[in-house]
């Protein structure tokens, strides 16, 4: 297990929690099981002691929000939000993906408010889409294009192995 203070940065938590929410919507499974899978996936890089519980809370918050607004394609919205997380710090600021003195994926101290922050950031993004101020993902964008986040995407979006013929 990783060092105690070494929890995922906010944007890594958000990428992981959004992917867990997408999986929750795609398959018939309990949020607890899905959250455990994604928390375990990040264990090689980060301390995941509180991660599964936080992912469950994020999924619950996201499902409540989605139920309260009219969204035609939720998976497309969440994928677009993942693009936004990778490329923007907020609606006005592009993310610096190549910081000079630290790794983009370096762990941080545990933030007790990370679920609240992640839930509010999704809400801001969606309302920004309605106001045409949120950046939308290009039609051809895939997570594979995000070189700086590849170690995370490889853990939370493992490639499917084709069945043996």
The closest of 127, 120, 115, 121 to 93, measured between CA atoms, is: 121
Q: Is residue 28's pLDDT more than 90?
A: no
Greatest extent of the chain over all pairs of C-alpha atoms, in Å: 50
Local confidence band at 14 (pLDDT 50, 70, 90 cut-offs):
very high
Determine the Cα angle at 79 with ends 40 and 98, to 5°.
Answer: 75
Domain for residue 44, yes or no? yes
- The reported pLDDT for the residue numbered 3 is 46
List, in order, residues 6 or more apart from 49 with CB less than 8 Å away.
110
Asked if pLDDT for residue 1 goes beyond 50, the answer is no
Domain annotation covers residue 161: no
Quote the CA–CA distance of 138 and 132 in Å, as a whole number. Answer: 15
Residues 6 or more apart in contact with residue 36 via CB below 8 angstroms: 52
Mean model confidence pLDDT for the chain: 90
CA distance 82 to 136: 10
Is residue 128's pLDDT more than 90? yes
- The pLDDT score that the predictor gives to residue 2 is 47
Is residue 162 assigned to a domain?
no
Percentage, residues of the chain above pLDDT 70? 93
More confident residue, 165 or 106: 106
The yes-or-no verdict on residue 159 having pLDDT over 90 is: no
- The domain tally of the chain equals 1
**Backbone dihedral angles phi then psi of residue 125, each to the nearest 5 degrees:** -60, -45
Residue 73 lies in a domain: yes
Structural domain for 126, as ranges:
10-156
Q: Does residue 163 belong to any structural domain of this protein? A: no
115 in a domain, yes or no? yes
- The angle that helices 10-26 and 114-130 make with each other, rounded to 10 degrees, is 70
Q: Is residue 164 assigned to a domain?
A: no
Q: What integer pLDDT is reported at residue 5 of this predicted model?
A: 64
Rounded average pLDDT over 143-160: 88
The pLDDT value given to residue 102: 76
pLDDT tens digit string along 60-112?
999 999 999 888 899 999 999 999 999 999 999 999 888 777 788 999 999 99
């Amino acid at each position: 297990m990783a060092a105690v203070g070494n929890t995922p940065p906010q944007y890594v938590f958000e990428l992981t929690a959004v992917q867990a929410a997408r999986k929750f919507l795609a398959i018939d499974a309990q949020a607890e099981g899905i959250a455990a899978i994604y928390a375990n996936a990040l264990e090689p890089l980060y301390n995941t002691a509180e991660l599964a519980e936080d992912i469950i809370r994020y999924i619950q918050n996201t499902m409540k929000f989605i139920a309260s607004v009219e969204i035609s394609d939720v998976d497309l919205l969440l994928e677009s939000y993942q693009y936004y997380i990778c490329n923007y710090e907020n609606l006005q600021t592009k993310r610096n993906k190549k910081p000079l003195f630290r790794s983009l994926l370096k762990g941080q101290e545990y933030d007790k408010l990370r679920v609240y922050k992640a839930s509010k950031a999704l809400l801001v993004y969606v309302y920004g889409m309605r106001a045409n101020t949120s950046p939308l993902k290009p039609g051809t964008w895939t997570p594979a294009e995000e070189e700086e986040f590849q170690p995370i995407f490889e853990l939370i979006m493992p490639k499917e192995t084709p069945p043996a013929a």
